[in-house]
Amino acid sequence: MSMTPAATGSPTRLRRALPWAVLGMLGVLAFGAYLRFAERGPLGIDAWWHGVATATRGSAAYAIAVFMAEAGDGIGAAACTAIAVALLIAVRRPRDAVAVASALLLGVLASETIKALVLRPRPWDQLYTAHGGSYPSGHSMGAAALAVSLALVVAGVRALPRAAARWAAAAATCWIALMMWSRTALHVHWLTDTLAGAVLGAGIAVVVRYAWFAPHRRVAGRRRG
CB-facing half-sphere around the CA of 51: CA atoms within 13 A: 6
Closest CA to 192 of 88, 49, 17, 37: 49
pTM, full prediction: 0.89
What is the identity of the amino acid at 92? R
Per-residue pLDDT band for 12 (boundaries 50, 70, 90) equals confident
Residue 175 within any structural domain of the chain = yes
- The tally of domains found in the chain comes to 1
Structural domain that includes position 28: 11-38+53-224
Radius of gyration of the chain (CA): 18
Helical H segments across 38-125, by residue range? 44-52, 60-72, 74-90, 94-118
What confidence tier does 10 reach under pLDDT thresholds 50, 70, 90? Answer: low
Residue 219 confidence (pLDDT) above 80: no
Does any domain span residue 6? Answer: no
CB 8 within 8 A of CB 93: no
Total residue count of the chain as it appears in this document: 225
DSSP lists the bridge partners of residue 157 as 8
